A and B are shown apart, each in its own frame.
Chain A
Amino acid sequence: MREVVQQLINGLSLGFVYALIALGYTMVYGIVKLINFAHGDILMVGAFAGYYVLGRFGVSPVTMIIAFIISMAICALLGVIIERLCYKPLRNSPKIAVLITAIGVSILLENGARVLPFMGPNPKQFPTFKNSIHIIFGYTVSTVQILVIVVSVVLMLLLTYIVKYTKMGKAMRAVSYDMKAALLMGINVDRVISFTFAIGAALGAAAGVLFASSYPQIEPYMGFMPGLKAFVAAVLGGIGSIPGAMFGGVFLGVAETLTKGFISSELADAVSFGILIIILVVKPTGLFGKNTREKV
């Protein structure tokens, strides 16, 4: 039992990272119905940005905050640029064309990072807090785990505030509900979409720094697997649903850690995808997804 709780704590911190990435997927999907395959690579860019800041200024709570802010800002900008250049021209195109564009962007980011002189293909050691262990109620929690959970919770609260209570948030919900109607109501849809990409990418960047802090080795392909997992998390929760993405991320992180701890670390990925398939077959739009019925 003790061990289960200990694993739950570990799973929770991984789950929060997944949840942050999943939020980016789900928000973008909710608005433009696009599986943004490049989102995982935004995470990688975010991790590299954090790497340079922390490498330049050393690791302290203050530089950590600066690292978060800079990497989130860079990625937000990158997200907007990608949206404007690659996705916006295809807004009325068949879905599969946009999907392939997203795959193209993903390939471009991953391999672009490999050839850029200051990034390169070789894994780099990510500077982070000395990973001291704290004992809380008899359970061990590391500094990085606390960092992950605190930062994630703060960002999620911030996001919830933005979506629920600001004007932009209201516009986002309107566009996601019915883009054409929102357009007719005078909402600047292009701006809302750019804003959504910016927020999603910023969350992805934060997740990148957190992920790199937990598994302190970064390289250009690092975003692929967590990206894929987070996408699974978003679908699990019901893609398009913000609470769904949070829940799905945490659920998947815990499930994966428990599998690694008690069944087999090699099968962990298969278990994650297996859970996804089972849940979708039972509930085709995910746990929190709206049941949409085609009008006949």
Chain B
Amino acid sequence: MKNRIFNSITILGASIIMYAILAVLMYTEILDEYNGQLLTLAGIYVIISLSLNLMTGFTGQLVLGQAGFMCIGAYSSAIAIMTFHVPLFFAIIIGGVITALFGFLIGFPALRLRGDYLAITTLGFGEIVRVVMVNLKSLTGGAAGLKGVPSFSNTGNFITDDIIKFTWVFGFVVISLLIITNLMRSSHGRAIISIREDEIAANSMGVDTAYYKIFSFTIAAFIAGLGGGLYAAYFGYLNPVMFGFMNSANFVVIVVLGGLGSVTGTIIAAIGFTYAQEWMRVFQDFRMVIFGLALILVMLFWQKGIMGSKEFSIVGFARDLLAGRYSIKRIISKISKLIKKWKEKKQPDDRGVK
């Protein structure tokens, strides 16, 4: 019981402190308008990447059509606001629910298809969504796009607007995080992971793998839909071109870079990716060349991603901190251990023959 309260307080406290620091930085313009908005965009990327990590990292099903889910969420929310005048919060939730419905449907082919076949089916799904959005002109504005999606707030003061934008996205990041981490650290989550580990064994241990595949796809799609809704309000303009295959590929890249099945890794990678994409604009035409090259090099030399499947635990960190486990001596010894480990790793291993 005591533990439980400690955990809740730490998580709540960490979120509030994090939020407060960033909001103050934005208010005092230490984090200028440009960087503040970028941070907000990064939050949206975090949400969508987390949802993909649920499908690919935890459930083990390769999905190449995440932009399709995002697209459905974005358009549903935008249409809910613009045509049906639903308040923003509920519009985002509606976007999530409608996307969840599609996640549920895509779950069914996932029962029959394995590996690459499922990947290409989801890719096809993403493309179909895009084409359908172009053709549903009366609702979506077609290829010309949907203009004038109302933003989170319109006070006229840029700083206030930006902080409000950020607050919305931050709130949804926390919600998505709680859904995914709490789910994964429960028996239902373990059932989902057992599918990734060995579907046949999981089934033989009494896990209804079909149910949990569809369940995972539904939840993941719901979260991706939330991200889509935020995306719509963030940009204020939607166009099917924004949800192409390259977009889906970017999310796969984020999830793999962060480490499949690592929530913290995904967060770091998503934020890093958003910023890197922006910073690389100075290279102009060479930006995408460098990006392609970087992808290849990273995969050649650093496949496991930032975190592997490990997690950084804020609760564990707080506990260690309170117990005084972060004395300088300990930190030094830990670092030297890490270096030693890293050196050992560099030794060639014989995993080549499989």
A contact residues vs B (CB 8 Å cutoff)? 29, 33, 35, 86, 89-90, 92-101, 103-112, 114-115, 121, 224, 228, 231-232, 235, 239, 264, 266-267, 269-270, 273-274, 276-277, 280-281, 284-286, 294, 296
Is B296 a contact partner of A97 (Cβ separation < 8 A)?
no
Does B161 reach chain A (CB closer than 8 Å)?
Answer: no
Measured CB to CB, the nearest residue on chain A to B351 is: A92
Query: Is there an interface contact between B128 and A273, defined as CB atoms closer than 8 Å?
Result: yes
Contact A232 B120 (CB under 8 A): yes
Which residues from chain B contact A107 at a C-beta distance below 8 Å?
246, 288-289, 291-292, 295
Contact of A104 with B292 in the complex, beta carbons under 8 Å: yes
Q: Which of B109, B127, B132, B303 is within 8 Å of A97, CB to CB?
A: B303
What's the least CB distance linking A267 to chain B, in Å? 6
Q: Is B180 an interface residue (CB 8 A)?
A: no
Check if B131 sits within 8 Å of A97, measured CB to CB. no
Closest CB pairs A-B (n = 3): A104-B295, A108-B292, A107-B292
Dominant secondary structure at the A interface: helix
Q: Is the CB of A284 within 8 A of B112?
A: yes
Residues of B within 8 A of A106 (CB): 292
26 A-B pairs, CB-CB below 8 angstroms?
Answer: A29-B116, A33-B116, A94-B303, A95-B116, A97-B256, A97-B299, A98-B299, A99-B62, A99-B119, A101-B295, A101-B299, A101-B300, A103-B249, A108-B292, A111-B292, A235-B117, A235-B120, A239-B116, A266-B131, A266-B135, A269-B131, A270-B131, A280-B117, A280-B120, A284-B117, A286-B117
Residues of the B chain whose Cβ atoms lie less than 8 Å from the Cβ of A274: 124, 128
Residue pair B299, A100 in contact (C-beta under 8 Å): yes
Give me 9 other A-B pairs in contact (C-beta within 8 A), A107-B246, A107-B295, A273-B125 excluded: A89-B300, A92-B354, A99-B62, A100-B252, A104-B296, A111-B291, A232-B120, A280-B109, A281-B109
A27 to B216, CA, bound (A): 34
CB distance A86 to B296 under 8 Å?
yes
Note all chain B residues with C-beta closer than 8 A to A105: 292, 296
Residue interface bits B38-69, CB-to-A below 8 A is 1, else 0 = 00000000000000000010000010000000
Identity of the chain A residue whose Cβ is nearest the Cβ of B116 in the assembled complex: A35
B54-104: which have CB < 8 Å to A?
56, 62
| Residue of B114, B124, B127, B352 with most partner-chain A CB within 10 A | B124
Check: B237 CB closer than 8 A to any chain A CB.
no
CB distance from A241 to the nearest CB of B (A): 13
B211 at interface, CB cutoff 8 A: no
> Which residues of chain B from 172 to 217 have any CB-CB distance to chain A below 8 Å in the complex?
200
Nearest A residue to B302 via CB reads A97
Is A90 a contact partner of B292 (Cβ separation < 8 A)?
no
Inter-chain residue pair count (beta carbon < 8 A): 142
Q: What is the CA–CA distance of A235 and B120 in the complex, to the nearest angstrom?
A: 8
Smallest Cβ-Cβ distance to B65: which chain A residue: A273
Residues of A contacting B134 in the complex (Cβ-Cβ under 8 angstroms): 266
When distances are taken between beta carbons in the complex, the residues of chain B under 8 Å from A110 are 288, 292
Q: A84: shortest Cβ distance to chain B, in Å? A: 12
Contacting residues, chain A, for B352 (C-beta < 8 A):
92
Pair A296/B200 contact, Cβ less than 8 Å: yes
Question: With the chains together, A35 CA to B119 CA distance in Å?
Answer: 10
Contact of B289 among A95, A103, A112, A276 (CB under 8 A): A112
Q: Which chain B residues lie closer than 8 Å to A97 at the CB level?
A: 256, 299, 303
Q: B residues within 8 A CB of A101?
A: 295-296, 299-300
In the bound assembly, the distance between CA atoms of A99 and B108 in angstroms comes to 24
Pair B109/A104 contact, Cβ less than 8 Å: no
Write out the residue numbers on chain A whose beta carbons fall within 8 Å of the beta carbon of B296: 86, 101, 104-105, 108
* Interfacial chain B residues near A109, Cβ < 8 Å: 292
**A90 CB contacts on chain B under 8 angstroms:** 299-300, 303
For residue A264, which residues in chain B have a CB less than 8 angstroms away from its CB? 135
Q: How far is the CB of A117 from chain B (nearest CB, A)?
A: 11
Query: When the two chains form the complex, which single residue of B109, B293, B300, B351 contacts A108, counting CB atoms closer than 8 Å?
Result: B293
Bound together, the chains give a CA A52 to CA B25 distance in angstroms of: 55
**Using Cβ atoms and an 8 Å threshold, which residues of chain A touch B286?**
111, 115
Given known pairs A235-B117, A267-B131, the reply for A294 and B200 (CB within 8 Å) is yes
Within 8 A of A (CB), among B267-303: 285-289, 291-296, 299-300, 303
Distance between B261 CB and nearest chain A CB, rounded to angstroms? 12
Contacts of A235 in B (CB 8 A): 116-117, 120
Assembly CA distance A280 to B131 (angstroms): 20
B121 within 8 A of A: yes
Min CB gap B72→A, angstroms: 14
Residue B113 lies at the interface, judged by CB distance under 8 Å to chain A: yes
Give the contacting residue for B256; candidates A100, A231, A276, A294; CB below 8 A.
A100
